[in-house]
Amino acid sequence: MISVEEALEKILANANVLEPEEKPILQCLGQVLAENVYSGFDIPPLDNSAMDGYALRAADTLGACEEDTRVLEVTGEVAAGYLFQGRVGPGQAVRIMTGAPVPAGADAVVPYEETSEGRGQAWKGADKGARVAILTEVEPGANVRRAGEDIAAGALVFSAFHYVGPFGDAWELYSFVFRTIAGLFFSALYLTRGFGITAWTHALYDVFLLVR
């Protein structure tokens, strides 16, 4: 009888390392990566809002509370998949949806629930659609997801010999590729507004990995 170590040594001595092959990601199950996988760009690609609310300058909310609100001019609205054509200046705010890019000039987002609009109540100086009362103070960066917060450009995502299987951490690889595709298409969407969600699914079949 031989030890487990000896048995393993004999088995490995008769095993050959397979040549790398490039295949669509959905055909790679049961194989391992032949090379490291790095992110080609930031995910998310742009600073974006973590919730519905108002994008503004944090300095304009200093000291704000329900008894002493800060009334700002509403200069526009931006939804996910669009870019705000303009800049947020002092005393201004832009209504923003979750996932939408933070407009230039803004450095924070106040949640919808912390505004006169969200509370559905009247505050002195507030005028729905034209002016909004801010009911809380926020710090710079509040409720903003930074570009590259999930994965930075150039970061190592998965190492060579990572197993591509149907369960466990293999789904992280699938998720990474999906987010990459989503990032690419959202980047294009911001420019052209011409891509649909079905394109993401088809694009997954066009992503190739080098596996063994």
C-alpha to C-alpha distance for 160 and 1, rounded to whole angstroms: 35
Predicted TM-score (pTM) of this structure:
0.69
CB-facing half-sphere around the CA of 135: CA atoms within 13 A: 18
Q: What does the alpha-carbon distance between residue 90 and residue 72 come to, in Å, rounded to a whole number? A: 9
Q: Residue ranges per domain, the chain?
A: 17-45+148-211, 48-145
The pLDDT score that the predictor gives to residue 54 is 96
Tell me the average pLDDT of the chain: 78
User: And the tokens for 132?
Assistant: 């909004």
Residue 12 CB coordination number (10 Å): 8
The residue ranking higher by pLDDT, 17 or 83, is 83
- 131-155 residue pLDDT tens: 899 999 999 999 999 988 888 888 8
- Measured distance CA(122)–CA(133) in Å, rounded: 9
Look up residue 118 and give its two tokens. 């969200």
pLDDT tens string 110-121: 999 999 887 776
Per-residue pLDDT at 144: 96
Q: What is the model's pLDDT at position 81?
A: 82
Topology (CATH) of 48-145:
Molybdopterin biosynthesis moeA protein; domain 3 (2.170.190)
pLDDT in tens, 56-73: 999 999 999 989 999 999
pLDDT at 106 over 90: yes
CATH number of 17-45+148-211: 3.90.105.10
| pLDDT tens-digit series, residues 156-197 | 877 888 777 665 454 555 555 555 544 444 443 333 333 333
Tell me the Ramachandran region of residue 96: left when phi exceeds 0, alpha when psi lies from -120 to 50, beta otherwise.
beta
Q: Does the pLDDT value for residue 79 go beyond 80?
A: yes
Q: Is the peptide bond before 111 cis (omega within 30 degrees of 0)?
A: no
Q: Which residues, including other chains, have CB under 8 Å from residue 198's CB and lie 6 or more apart? A: none
Could you tell me if residue 26 is left (phi over 0), alpha (psi between -120 and 50 degrees) or otherwise beta? alpha
Q: Which DSSP string corresponds to the chain?
A: ---HHHHHHHHHHT--PPPPEEEEGGG-TTEEBSS-EE-SS-BSSS-EESSSEEEE-GGGGTT-BTTB-EEEEEEEEE-TT---SSB--TTEEEEE-TTPBPPBT--EEEEGGGBHHHHT---TT-BTTTEEEE-S---TTTTEEPTTSSB-TT-EEE-TT-EE-SSTTHHHHHHHHHHHHHHHHHHHHHHH----THHHHHHHTT-EEEE-
